[in-house]
Amino acid sequence: MYKSLTFILIVIIGIANARGFSNIKAENIRHIKSFSSQKNVGLDLCPTCINVADESINILLNLILDTGIIGTCGTLCQALAEKTGSEILGTVCDIVCDVVGIDEFIKLIEKADLDPIWYCEIAKLCPVNDHGDAKITKFTILPPTGRQGQTFTIDFTFVSVNGTGTGELTIDIRTPDHIPLGTGFLLQAQKPGTYNERITVKAEPDPQCDPTQQPCEQWLPGVYNVTVQICNGECGSKHPHSAIYDTGRGTFQLTG
């Protein structure tokens, strides 16, 4: 349990950074794993791959830009393996590069257009389901009102008739001080069924946030608009095996 939570936290940071969301402490927004005891469809290699995909993509970009290593999939991916000291990263890179072709692979990396879920689906380490679906049937935020320091709990249920593909759960919060907050969580492929999910949001400024470096959420009094999306693939991705399954909306209020 602890181990999988660590993975989730790593994945959150990876995906959140890739999506260019504002910086937010991992403790501020948490995803509490599905209460259901359904086992995932995929092997556990999927979250591991998502985790290394981010690292691989960044290092590959540096290799291409700094050293101009291009040539073949073999030379590029071998350079990645050497740089990271990991044969596995090199092997996954080789598989993906061979499938899309070296020219397209380099283009995708240079355009920062290679999202980790798609990368791991091409490598056949994350399962694909193009007939998946998910419908949000319940969505609550409690308490509706609180003071700064309050933890708000977003509980929602989704029902899937055909199961889901490897995807993402995102939360986006529109704040009164107009600093967009949000993050994404890996949602592993699921069998048909009913799933209960919980995300908690702690409405408390981060004392470590440096306003000269980045916008720092102040958690001012007002109404906070919350949007949650369940997606196949990365939310907003234009790649194959990607779609928004459903969107849930709600609000909470901070009082002064």
Ligand X SMILES: *[C@@H]1O[C@H](CO)[C@@H](O)[C@H](O)[C@H]1NC(C)=O
> Which range binds ligand X by CB under 6 A, 6-14, 112-120, 173-181, 228-236?
173-181
Rg (CA), the chain: 19
Is residue 72 a contact point for ligand X (CB under 6 A)?
no
| Residues between 79 and 138 that touch ligand X (CB under 6 A) | 131, 133
Is residue 198 a contact point for ligand X (CB under 6 A)?
no
Q: What is the DSSP string of 151-190?
A: EEEEEEEEEESS-B-SEEEEEEEE-TT---EEEEEEE--B
SS3 233: strand
The tokens 């708000």 sit on which residue? 152
* Among residues 4, 67, 145, 162, the one that binds ligand X under rule CB under 6 A: 162
SS3 136: strand
| Residues between 128 and 157 that touch ligand X (CB under 6 A) | 131, 133
Closest distance to ligand X from the beta carbon of 31 (Å): 23
* Among residues 74, 176, 193, 205, the one that binds ligand X under rule CB under 6 A: 176
Give whichever of 175 and 188 is closer to ligand X, judged by the CB atom.
Answer: 175
Is residue 174 a contact point for ligand X (CB under 6 A)?
yes
Number of residues that bind ligand X (CB under 6 A): 9
> How many other C-beta atoms lie within 10 A of the C-beta of residue 34?
17
- Distance between CA atoms of 217 and 181, rounded to whole angstroms? 8
Give whichever of 83 and 191 is closer to ligand X, judged by the CB atom.
Answer: 191
Q: State whether the Cα torsion 90-94-96-101 is positive or negative.
A: positive
Side-chain-side CA neighbours of 51 within 13 Å: the count stands at: 14
Give whichever of 109 and 226 is closer to ligand X, judged by the CB atom.
Answer: 226
Closest distance to ligand X from the beta carbon of 199 (Å): 18
Residues in contact with ligand X by the rule CB under 6 A: 131, 133, 161-162, 174-176, 223, 225
